[in-house]
Amino acid sequence: MRALLEHADEYRSAARGLIERRPSIVRLIGHGSSDAAAAFAVYAFGLLPGWTAVRDSISLVVYYEAQLDFSDSVVIALSQSGETPDVVAYVERARAQGARTIALTNEPESELARLAEISLPLAAGTERSVAATKTYMNMLAALALLAGVCAERERETADGLRSVADVLSATLDPLERAVSEVALAFAYVGRMYVIGRGMEIATAREIALKLKETCRVAAEPLTATDLVHGPVAALDALFPVWVIASRDAGLRAVLEAAERAHAAQATLVASGSAAADVADAAHVLSVPPAPSPVLAPLLSVVPGQLFAASLAHAKGLDADRPIGLSKVTRAR
Amino acid sequence: MRALLEHADEYRSAARGLIERRPSIVRLIGHGSSDAAAAFAVYAFGLLPGWTAVRDSISLVVYYEAQLDFSDSVVIALSQSGETPDVVAYVERARAQGARTIALTNEPESELARLAEISLPLAAGTERSVAATKTYMNMLAALALLAGVCAERERETADGLRSVADVLSATLDPLERAVSEVALAFAYVGRMYVIGRGMEIATAREIALKLKETCRVAAEPLTATDLVHGPVAALDALFPVWVIASRDAGLRAVLEAAERAHAAQATLVASGSAAADVADAAHVLSVPPAPSPVLAPLLSVVPGQLFAASLAHAKGLDADRPIGLSKVTRAR
């Protein structure tokens, strides 16, 4: 994260181009962890410069070849490897149709980086594990930085990210110890929901993905509100719910949904800066408050990442090399 | 569906207002089944008039109070009951900030219908079951009709919907018999993925929701591509995958993902107009081809709805009144 901040100049210059453009829509695209990061960007751009940002449909453009108006659009393509085929194809088409295109990738020499008008580095160093963790973190940091500069709040955002990096350094070890005690109890769990609300839906998506790919748990991310619009009916005592509770405007909805899950007999794991507020949580994995609300997802994802590593270990799985996955996903 | 078409005048007049407005973005909002319908609308508007439509974040506007530019926006609020609190709150704010607002609801006297500039009826008759089925169908039909009129293709779209209604009449009974033989084999299944691509992600979301709320199966919807970006690692012989295969531009991606799932030992259930193309499917639930590609989701959801009803019955559950749910979800 500190290495990323050394590239602030590049982010500043990209942001200037965006401010001039005054996009009516920022289209984020990516799969897997990159798609979770895209969900974060909806809030980072919505709350910092006040721009409408969306997780766009790749298939609409690439497979159905819809003729959309891209003239007021900025496309931000997210891919750790920069080689995801349909992300690359989307950028090619959107650029040909007049979109301003930015690649956020950890591989500055990748096809995606070459095809986009602007390529910004994640600067996360080589990601050796198949399950992305540090590139996910730096994607969030990069998106926050870009949105912050677009809102003319670069200083504050960069300072916030530096402070997040400091907090992480101090928190990782104690959190890892706390998590390993909790994870063991989940060795035979087959299904989970991970709930969050607002910007923490990004965190819910990322933690659920880590549980699926490294621990083989059928973990589905849901907004707190979606949980009570149906899925709550499936819960029982063998179907735990991971609750991401951050101290922000979405907290009340999350706490109410957690109450409903508990009433349905689900064991609750609470994480986030407001984890201690989750009534009846069997396990509480608190993180320090973020320097600003928009940076909270950078901290609240960490207990989930550590938990997944620990649970995978407890189950005798190799979290770095999940069965059937490879570092670069070339699937359509 | 036929009753809905009797309201074509109202849809025509609403569409005229939209065409004049030339929205830069159509913002869909809704929870549960309404959110699945919103996913369909992304494709209906993208492919028919070529407009950018998105499933918007309710929490960004309602909880975080983001100051977005709504001046070029059309909001389409989806709610069977018309009483979902945060959908109502979103419409109120968006309208105050200059958006054109349309309510699509089955309850023309609801708060949502009153608050939106224009209210369009679903005309599905009283929905007695908690798990929405006919209101979901009519939401898709209503969105297709609206998008069709916006593309100046009203005649073709209305004729297509009439033909879908005819096909449904002829297909429901034989399909129900076929499904009931398959469902029994899933009585002890705890987790599933439901995969689709492109517009069939709406179908995947809706079938997965039905399995969760009426059958208590942890069924997660995934795009075919997302499956191979991680979640495939969780599959085994006790973790079946429902594959929605329609004969359209997304089919190849779906077939390749199904192959990966089969290689991971998952039992495959295939549904849709191209179900027979899914190699190694243990169960095939075909539906007739739709009169046009954009109407396919109206047919491909039906095997899933019938399967959920049948599986719930086999498990001794009441699909009309799932535990812990009520018709109008008042949760935040």
- What CATH number should be reported for the domain holding residue A289? 3.40.50.10490
User: What are the C-alpha distances in Å from B289 to residues B85, B163, B196, B273, B275?
Assistant: 38, 11, 16, 5, 11
Q: Which residues contact B20 (CB under 8 A, 6 or more apart)?
A: none
Same-domain check for residues A133 and A204:
no
Q: Does B24 touch chain A (CB under 8 A)?
A: yes
Residue A131 confidence class, pLDDT cut points 50, 70, 90: confident
The neighbouring-strand residues paired with A242 are A194, A269
Same-domain check for residues A123 and A206:
no
In angstroms, the separation between the Cα of residue B193 and the nearest Cα of chain A is: 9
Mean pLDDT, residues A47-56 taken together: 97
What digits encode the pLDDT tens for the residues B268-283?
Answer: 999 999 999 999 999 9
Question: What percent of chain A is predicted at pLDDT more than 70?
Answer: 98
Same-domain check for residues A132 and A8:
yes
Q: Does A26 touch chain B (CB under 8 A)?
A: no
* pLDDT in the model for residue A146: 98
Q: Which amino acid, A261?
A: A
B56 within domain boundaries: yes
* pLDDT in the model for residue B331: 62
| Chain A contacts in chain B segment 262-291 (CB below 8 A) | 263-264
What digits encode the pLDDT tens for the residues B57-86?
Answer: 999 999 999 999 999 999 999 999 999 999
Mean pLDDT, residues A305-331 taken together: 84
Same-domain check for residues B129 and B237:
no
* pLDDT in the model for residue B332: 58
* Whole-prediction pTM: 0.96
Asked whether the beta carbons of residue B332 and residue A256 sit closer than 8 angstroms, the reply is yes
Same-domain check for residues B180 and B141:
no
Question: What percent of chain A is predicted at pLDDT more than 90?
Answer: 92
* pLDDT in the model for residue A252: 95
Q: Does A245 touch chain B (CB under 8 A)?
A: no
Asked whether the beta carbons of residue A234 and residue B212 sit closer than 8 angstroms, the reply is yes
What digits encode the pLDDT tens for the residues B11-52?
Answer: 999 999 999 988 999 999 999 999 999 999 999 999 999 999
In angstroms, the separation between the Cα of residue B64 and the nearest Cα of chain A is: 6
B276 within domain boundaries: yes
Same-domain check for residues B109 and B188:
no
Residue B325 confidence class, pLDDT cut points 50, 70, 90: confident
Same-domain check for residues A8 and A148:
yes
- Out of B63, B218, B226, the one facing A234 most closely (by C-beta) is B218
Asked whether the beta carbons of residue A64 and residue B249 sit closer than 8 angstroms, the reply is yes
Q: Does A71 touch chain B (CB under 8 A)?
A: no
- Out of B43, B329, B331, the one facing A60 most closely (by C-beta) is B43
* pLDDT in the model for residue A303: 97
- Indicate if the pLDDT at residue B323 is higher than 80: no
Average pLDDT, chain A: 95
Residue A331 confidence class, pLDDT cut points 50, 70, 90: low
| Structural domain ending residue among the three candidates A152, A186, A206 | A152
Same-domain check for residues A177 and A294:
yes
What digits encode the pLDDT tens for the residues A132-188?
Answer: 899 999 999 999 999 999 999 999 999 999 999 999 999 999 999 999 989 999 999
Q: Which residues contact B310 (CB under 8 A, 6 or more apart)?
A: B176, B179, B180, B182, B183, B184
Q: Residue B154 class from Cβ within 10 Å (0-12 exposed, 13-18 middle, 19+ buried)?
A: middle
3-state secondary structure of A90: helix
Distance between alpha carbon B215 and the CA centroid of its chain, in Å? 18
* pLDDT in the model for residue A232: 96
- Indicate if the pLDDT at residue B125 is higher than 90: yes
A322 within domain boundaries: no
Mean pLDDT, residues B141-146 taken together: 98
- Indicate if the pLDDT at residue A330 is higher than 70: no
Same-domain check for residues A279 and A202:
yes
Domain that holds residue A264: 172-314
A161 within domain boundaries: no
Asked whether the beta carbons of residue B198 and residue A64 sit closer than 8 angstroms, the reply is yes
* pLDDT in the model for residue A159: 98
In angstroms, the separation between the Cα of residue A53 and the nearest Cα of chain B is: 9
Same-domain check for residues B47 and B99:
yes
**Cβ pairs bridging A and B (under 8 Å):** 218
User: What are the C-alpha distances in Å from A50 to residues A104, A145, A291, B35, B330?
Assistant: 21, 14, 20, 24, 29
What digits encode the pLDDT tens for the residues A196-244?
Answer: 999 999 999 999 999 999 999 999 999 999 999 899 999 999 999 999 9
Mean pLDDT, residues A237-264 taken together: 96
| Chain A contacts in chain B segment 147-166 (CB below 8 A) | none
Q: Does A72 touch chain B (CB under 8 A)?
A: yes
What digits encode the pLDDT tens for the residues B186-204?
Answer: 999 999 999 999 999 999 9
Average pLDDT, chain B: 95
- Indicate if the pLDDT at residue A71 is higher than 70: yes
A49 within domain boundaries: yes
Asked whether the beta carbons of residue B69 and residue A50 sit closer than 8 angstroms, the reply is yes
Question: What percent of chain B is predicted at pLDDT more than 90?
Answer: 92
Asked whether the beta carbons of residue B59 and residue A197 sit closer than 8 angstroms, the reply is yes
B160 within domain boundaries: no
Q: Which residues contact A239 (CB under 8 A, 6 or more apart)?
A: A191, A192, A193, A266, B218
Determine the Cα–Cα distance for residues B179 and B176; give it in Å rounded to an integer. 5
- Indicate if the pLDDT at residue A328 is higher than 70: no
Same-domain check for residues B25 and B104:
yes
Same-domain check for residues A108 and A217:
no
A94 within domain boundaries: yes
B97 within domain boundaries: yes
Domains held by chain A: number = 2
Among candidate residues B163, B114, B154, B122, the one with its CA nearest the CA of residue B140: B122
Residue A298 confidence class, pLDDT cut points 50, 70, 90: very high
